[in-house]
Amino acid sequence: MSDDKPTIDVPESGPFLVKGLKKLTDAQDQPIEMAKDVIALCRCGASKNKPFCDGAHKNIDWDPTETAEHGKTAHRRIEYDGDTFAITDDKALCWHAGFCVREYGHVWNLTETANSEQDKQQVKEMVHACPSSRLQYHEPKGFPPIEPELSQRIAVIDDGPLYLQGGIPVVGADGAAYETLNRVSLCRCGASANKPYCDGRHSEIGFEDSA
């Protein structure tokens, strides 16, 4: 494998081109074998060799157009204040994974009512479980986000998106880089309205790895 840090290029039409990746896994963190320094990961949803591309995008009707914003996520964030901390929310990145909702409440409500270290820890864990970086945790308020230390890898979520962690750069077809975030989820069903990011459409269309 290459010694370079991993990067992902999004062609105008075709698969994600991943360079320099050291670790590709399934959702259970089991390694998926990679045979080349550059691997092509399906983003049309039709490959019979998922997560890898088999050229199926050339024979189906799909829209590969990127529609996500390239601007800084900080410009879109709404802040929710706790006592000594805050969370910020960028809805444009969401894919409705549901980690922000648990049996003891929604993370936004918990942030506003947190009055103990245990409460704050619950909020922090929920925020850091968000696979899209929609949510970020700030303590003290107004300071840069506190992020978990994540190794660089790509995880293939069962019947869902590619989960990038550890700050892997993504470059669009126009050559412009998207903001590098610690946690990112990329569409691989071909149906997202926020490409290259996942927006949860895989659930609506019944996307399956076995299909």
pLDDT at 2 over 50: no
pLDDT at 104 over 90: no
| Average of per-residue pLDDT across 93-107 | 90
The share of the chain scoring above pLDDT 70, in percent, equals 99
Bridge partners of residue 80, in order along the sequence: 87
Question: Are 9 and 168 contacting, i.e. CB atoms less than 8 angstroms apart?
Answer: no
Produce one character per residue of 135-155: b if its CB has 16 or more CB atoms within 10 Å, e if not: bbbbbeeeeebeeeeeebbbb
- For the chain, what are the domain ranges? 73-138
pLDDT in tens, 78-91: 999 999 999 999 99
Question: Are 26 and 155 contacting, i.e. CB atoms less than 8 angstroms apart?
Answer: yes
Please give the model's pTM, rounded to 2 decimal places.
0.94
pLDDT at 181 over 50: yes
pLDDT in tens, 126-138: 999 999 999 999 9
pLDDT at 155 over 60: yes
pLDDT in tens, 24-57: 999 999 999 998 889 999 999 999 999 999 999 9
Other CB atoms closer than 10 Å to residue 22's CB: what's the count? 14
